[in-house]
Every structure is written in C-alpha cells, then in structure tokens.
Amino acid sequence: MTTVDVPEVGPATRTYGVEDVPVAQADSRTLRRVLTQTSVPAPATTDRVVLVSGAGPVLDRAEAFRDGFGAVTGTFRSV
C-alpha cells in the first residue's frame, strides 16, 4: 500500500498486486490478473471513500498497467 497525491483532491491510498480469480463456480480453473485500487477520500465527508479500481490479465505488462492506471486515477475530480 502506498500513499499518492491526486491533483485537486489530495492524498489517497493505492494498492496493487496479482490475484487468481475463479472462472466460474464449481470450476477449478482460475484467471490470474493484475489488480490496482485507489481509495480517494469522498468530498465533504470524513468516513467515506471512492474506490477506483482496474484489473486485467496483463501480467507481462503489470508495471505499465499500474503506471497507466495511476495516470487515469490522477484525472479524478468530484463534481
């Protein structure tokens, strides 16, 4: 977990990793995917967050995926 600064919003928490997700119930196969989540404090509250998440089966491009997701999250604005 890391702390990041979202422009015009402030500090947020980001996690990332790789997880195995079942393809379907009662199916032993799994899908391995890269997962990134950013918890952004909800505006005008002290007890809520907006969860921005992204996932994809791009294991060989995990770092680029994380960087791209960070760029997208950096555009978050509350309207």
**Structure confidence at residue 10 (pLDDT):** 87
Predicted model pTM: 0.78
Q: What is the 3-state secondary structure (H, E, C) of 44-76?
A: CCCCCEEEEEEEECCHHHHHHHHHHHHHHHCCC
Please write the tens of the pLDDT for every residue from 38-64: 999 888 888 899 999 999 999 999 999
Where along the chain do its domains lie?
A: 2-73
Please write the tens of the pLDDT for every residue from 1-24: 899 999 888 899 999 999 999 989
Burial code of 4-13, b = ≥16 C-beta within 10 A, e = fewer? Answer: eebeebeebe
Q: Residue 1, SS3?
A: coil
How does DSSP assign 28-40, residue by residue?
--EEEEEEEEEEE
